[in-house]
Structure 1
């Protein structure tokens, strides 16, 4: 079983070109697919762990690790299920909160290159993002996997680089808590969602208080001001679109054409992406 896991990981890694995931190809590559360090970067794992998985020396990878690998490798649902099986893990079912991105949805995110775009789960786990998103809001791959969650970051660490006054933050916190209540009611068997709610309820008094409220609603849109080290403060419209047939959310930031904020976004597109590309080449 373990040798099959290593075999499929190597095969899937070799079929994904760097260009397909927004990474520079470069000359002198021994493979047309992803290097181990590139897969590690995309999945938020260490290179050593990727090596141990492929060589059969790492056993029983967790469901979050397998989910990250499935997304990074652009696996279909059937391929993702096979990955879970050969790793000896329980295959996600319809009772589990969807976190897997299909290759077609990933391509849509990749092609939205002129605007910051990302994909979140119904529990507000960020599961995909494009380079402009990372340039504007920070690169989620630098966070530990459990911290790639908007709700956890909001209540445990704050919303930086989003700029809000106290009243606006309270409105947003209530909005997100009401949205999370929908996911919690729909996916009662999802252990990761239950752990998130239990962790925050026991460690954060604000979240615990909001859990006692009964509002239920979806968070769909708002205007946000972001403090960027490259372009200063920039105010953008943020829209949340639910993916048909799934509770995944496509989140997109846009600026009114011809506005000062649109000009700042153009600057960020050039300067920010150059910084991001340089960092990717150094990996």
Structure 2
């Protein structure tokens, strides 16, 4: 069996074992198998359906490291599986000098247990690695966006913007904290091409980012109040907290509402109606993670 055929077989097996709910997608409708459809993997990995088909059939023989990284993240591969993916594709396995998007099993279990709160998991460059259905219902379906457009730093400074409002003071704190995180990540991973590209593209696309980056602003994450202007349930005033994952660069962003408040009631309603009423949340003032 050739390497490309083995790669295709491995991709099909990983796709078949991945349940939609595990990657933040609705699992309703008639399915021939429990795993992901090619169209769903295409959305998650920001690749065309035709390219997924050619990979699985062994007709696309030289996937780039960027493609492999997207597939590994979308399929939730373990460290060993991710290494095997690169070997099958004939690409060097990323070393410790690159940003990791591997989510430990304990973090996955935590996410499953917090299914009533909108949350996302982000890597050291603040790329969105994982999200739950509540996060998609609150802020819009991220599968409709490219990987770059899912990054909250990119969305804040460049767009497309979230439908979120926050005070100028909180907005300034958010920007300082995120720029500080990017600067620290670049120092830890100076050879990561994706991270370097993100920083340079941000500097080119946003004069505000470039000014603050060059000025060396420094900040830290604090609990933040944000108003999400939701088209179905109305405005929700929520607390946004950033939780660090010990032993990794991952960060979990969680939205919660005060107990007994109208916002908590709206959040529960949002959990009931889910993403079926949404598509993408309409654009508004920037500032969401």
TM-score by length of 1: 0.88
> What residue in structure 1 maps to residue 188 of structure 2?
186
Question: RMSD value over aligned CA atoms?
Answer: 2.3
Say if 1:179 and 1:219, in contact at 8 Å, map to a contact too: no
Following superposition, the deviation at residue 11 of structure 1 comes to 1.7
> What residue in structure 2 maps to residue 91 of structure 1?
93
Say if 1:14 and 1:34, in contact at 8 Å, map to a contact too: yes
Change (3 A) 1:58 1:276: farther
Change (3 A) 1:24 1:75: same
**Which residue, out of 20, 27, 36, partners 1:24?**
27
Say if 1:224 and 1:236, in contact at 8 Å, map to a contact too: yes
- For residue 215 of structure 2, give the secondary structure of its aligned residue in structure 1: coil
Change (3 A) 1:18 1:191: closer
- Bigger relative CO (Cα 8 Å, ≥ 6 apart): 2
**Which residue, out of 248, 252, 261, partners 2:250?**
248
Structure 2 gap ranges (5+): 280-289
**Which residue, out of 271, 274, 282, partners 1:272?**
274
CA–CA separation in structure 1 for the residues paired with 2:102 and 2:127 = 11
Say if 1:116 and 1:130, in contact at 8 Å, map to a contact too: yes
Following superposition, the deviation at residue 156 of structure 1 comes to 1.0
Say if 2:243 and 2:253, in contact at 8 Å, map to a contact too: yes
Following superposition, the deviation at residue 46 of structure 1 comes to 2.5
Q: Give runs of aligned pairs for residues 151-190 of structure 1, distance below 5 A.
A: 151-157=153-159, 159-190=161-192
> What residue in structure 1 maps to residue 5 of structure 2?
3
> What residue in structure 1 maps to residue 151 of structure 2?
149
- For residue 212 of structure 1, give the secondary structure of its aligned residue in structure 2: helix
- Worse-superposed segment, 126-135 or 182-191: 182-191
Following superposition, the deviation at residue 23 of structure 1 comes to 3.8
**Which residue, out of 242, 262, 265, partners 1:263?**
265
Paired residues in the alignment total 276
Runs of 4+ in 1 over 4 A off after TM superposition: 18-22, 25-28
Following superposition, the deviation at residue 199 of structure 1 comes to 1.3
CA distances 1:30-59 after superposition (whole Å, capped 9, x unpaired): x34333223323333332221111011223
CA–CA separation in structure 2 for the residues paired with 1:219 and 1:98 = 21
Change (3 A) 1:73 1:276: farther
CA distances 1:200-259 after superposition (whole Å, capped 9, x unpaired): 212321111101223444424312111111122111111111112110101111111101
> What residue in structure 2 maps to residue 68 of structure 1?
70
Change (3 A) 1:187 1:221: farther
- For residue 118 of structure 1, give the secondary structure of its aligned residue in structure 2: strand
TM-score by length of 2: 0.86
Say if 2:99 and 2:192, in contact at 8 Å, map to a contact too: yes
CA–CA separation in structure 2 for the residues paired with 1:129 and 1:28 = 22
> What residue in structure 1 maps to residue 231 of structure 2?
229
The answer on 1:208 being equivalent to 2:210 is yes
The answer on 1:43 being equivalent to 2:38 is no
CA–CA separation in structure 2 for the residues paired with 1:98 and 1:111 = 24
CA–CA separation in structure 1 for the residues paired with 2:274 and 2:75 = 25
